[in-house]
Amino acid sequence: MHSSSHWRVAVIGSGPSAFYTAEAIFKAKGDAQDLEVRVDMFDRLPVPFGLVRGGVAPDHAKIKSVTRVYDKIAANPGFRFFGNVMLGRDVQVDDLTQHYDQIVYAFGCESDNKLGAPGEDLAGVHSATEFVGWYNGHPDHRHRTFDLQNAKRVALVGNGNVAMDVARVLLQSPDRLAPTDITDYALEALRKSSVTEVVLLGRRGPAQAAFSPKEIEEIAELDSVDIVLEPDEAELDELSVRWLEESGSRSQQRNVKFLTGCAEHGEGTAPNKLRCRFLVSPTEILGEGSVRAVKVEHMKLQADDSGTPRPKSKGTSEEVECDLLFKAIGYRGEPVPGVPFDERKGIVPNAEGRVLATPGGDVVAGHYVAGWCKRGPTGLIGTNSADAKATVEAMKTDRADGKTLSPAADDIAPVLAERSVDAVSWQDWQRLDAWEQAEGKKRDKVRHKLSAVDEMMRVIRELR
C-alpha cells in the first residue's frame, strides 16, 4: 500500500525529541497539497512529554512551558497520539513495519549509570533518576521511599544539572515547592526532611563542572542556602588554567569565577549548606545495612591524548560521612525489544539518525532514531530540535530514494482495538490535562499530577 502520496511515520516516545521530529516532518510537507502526512506518536505512559513531565524539576515552570510548543505541533491534523501503548508489549516492531513508511525511535534514556563501587546496594543509596522520578510523580518511581526525615547530610555524586536539581529540591524551603506541580507525597516528605547539608562530590575540578552557571547561581540565590567551598579546592591547577584559557567555554569560565567567589564568601549564615567538593572520586560506600559514609579518593588532573583534563588518583583518600547518598552521574539507555542496542554506549546504534543493525553495521532501512537514544544523554531540551531535524533530513533523503518500509495496511488503530489496548488519544490527554490543572487550582498549585497509570486511566475513562 506504499504510495509516494503518503508519508506515514510512527514516532516512539513523546518527549522533546519526539515532538521536534513530528514538527520537522510537518514542516517538510511544506505546501505539498497532494501529500498526506501522518505522524502517530506512541508512549508507554498514558501521558505525553517524557522528561518534561517526569524529569524537569517542579520549580522550573519556565522550562516546562515548552509543552505549549508541543501542543501546537499536536494540533496538526496529521498528528495522532497513542498513549498507554508500549512497544514490545502492546505493539511489536513488526506491527509498525506493517503500517508505516518510516519509524523513529525517540524513547530517550530511561536508566542510569552505576558507580560500580562496593556498597552501592546499601540502603540509603539512590540514583538521582529515582529521586527525580519520585518527586515528579513518574509511575515507575512513585513507590520509592527516601528516608529524608532521619537524614541530615546527603552526599551527591556528580557535577551536572541533575545534581543541581536534586540539591535545590533538598535544600530549598518546601514552601517554594508547594504551589508547583510537585507530587503531594514528595512535598509531605520534604516538609518532614531533616536534611541541612548536601555534599557535592565532583571527580574533576571547578573548571570541568558539568552544571550550567545559571543552575548553580540559582541555588546561591536561595535565602536558606549557602554554597561553601574550601579555598584550596576552588583553586585551579596549572593544567586547568591553561585548558580553560585555550578551550574552556564561556559557561566553564563563568562557573570558575562564581565558585571562586563562593570560596571567598566562606561558611555564610544560611541554615542549609551546599558543600562543593572537587577532585574527589567515590571508591566505596560504607555502612552496615545502610550508608554511613562514602570513601573518596583524592584526584589530580592529567591531560588525555586530546588535551582534556581527566581525573587520576593521587593515592590518598578520606571518608565523607553521610546519611543518604544520591548518584547523579548520568542517564543510560535501556534496550527495547526488536530495536538494535549498543550495550557499550547505551544507545540505539545509528549513523546520523539511521538505525544500524549492530554498532558500525548495516543500515536498517526505514528505522531512525532521535534525541538521547540517538546521541546519548547530553544537552538541553532545545538541543533535541536540531538533532530531530537532522534525522528528518535523512528520512526525507531516503524517502526520495524510495528506501522506505513497504506497509501492507494504513491504520494501526484497528490492530490495537482488536488487542483490547486502551490507547489514550490526544483528546483524552487534553481532558486529563485540564482535569489535573483544575484539581491543582483547588489545592492552590499549578497542577495536581496523577502518578499511577491505573489512576490516570480511571480518570481518562471517566472524562471520555
> Could you tell me the smallest distance in angstroms from the CB atom of residue 293 to ligand NAP?
16
Least separation in angstroms between CB 213 and ligand NAP: 11
Q: How far is the CB of 280 from ligand NAP (least distance, A)?
A: 9
Surface-to-core class of residue 96, CB atoms within 10 Å of its CB (0-12 exposed, 13-18 middle, 19+ buried): buried
Nearer to ligand NAP, 6 or 310 (CB): 310
Give me the least distance between CB of 252 and ligand NAP, in Å please.
Answer: 11
Shortest CB 350 distance to ligand NAP, Å = 19
* For ligand NAP, the closer CB: 165 or 398: 165
Length reported for the chain: 464
Q: Which is nearer to ligand NAP, 120 or 147 (CB)?
A: 120
In degrees, rounded to 5, the angle at the alpha carbon of residue 215 between the alpha carbons of residues 214 and 218 is 80
- Measured from the CB atom, is 203 or 445 closer to ligand NAP? 203
Torsions phi, psi for 50 (to 5 deg): 50, -125
Pick 282 or 407: Cβ nearer ligand NAP: 282
- In one-letter notation, the amino acid at residue 433 is D
Of the pair 4, 65, the CB lying nearest ligand NAP is at: 65
Helix (H, G, I), strand (E, B) or coil at 155: strand
Nearer to ligand NAP, 93 or 276 (CB): 276
Beta strand ranges found along 192-327 (DSSP E)? 197-201, 225-228, 272-277, 280-286, 293-303, 309-321, 324-327
Looking at beta carbons, which residue is closest to ligand NAP?
160
Binding residues for ligand NAP (CB under 6 A)? 113, 115, 157-163, 165, 202-204, 208, 210, 212, 215, 281, 328-331, 377-380
In whole angstroms, how close is the CB of 164 to ligand NAP at the nearest point?
7
Query: Distance between CA atoms of 429 and 426, rounded to whole angstroms?
Result: 5
Nearer CB in complex with ligand NAP: 353/377: 377
- In angstroms, give the least distance from the CB of 114 to ligand NAP: 8
Q: Which residues of 9-44 are buried (b: 16+ CB within 10 A; e: fewer)?
A: bbbbbbbbbbbbbbbbbbebeeeeeeeebbbbbbbb
Q: How far is the CB of 116 from ligand NAP (least distance, A)?
A: 7
- Report CA torsion sign: 195, 196, 198, 199: negative
453-463 helix and 426-442 helix, angle to the nearest 10 degrees:
100
d(CA 184, CA 290): 27
Write the CB contacts of 422 (distance below 8 Å, at least 6 apart in sequence).
84, 457, 461
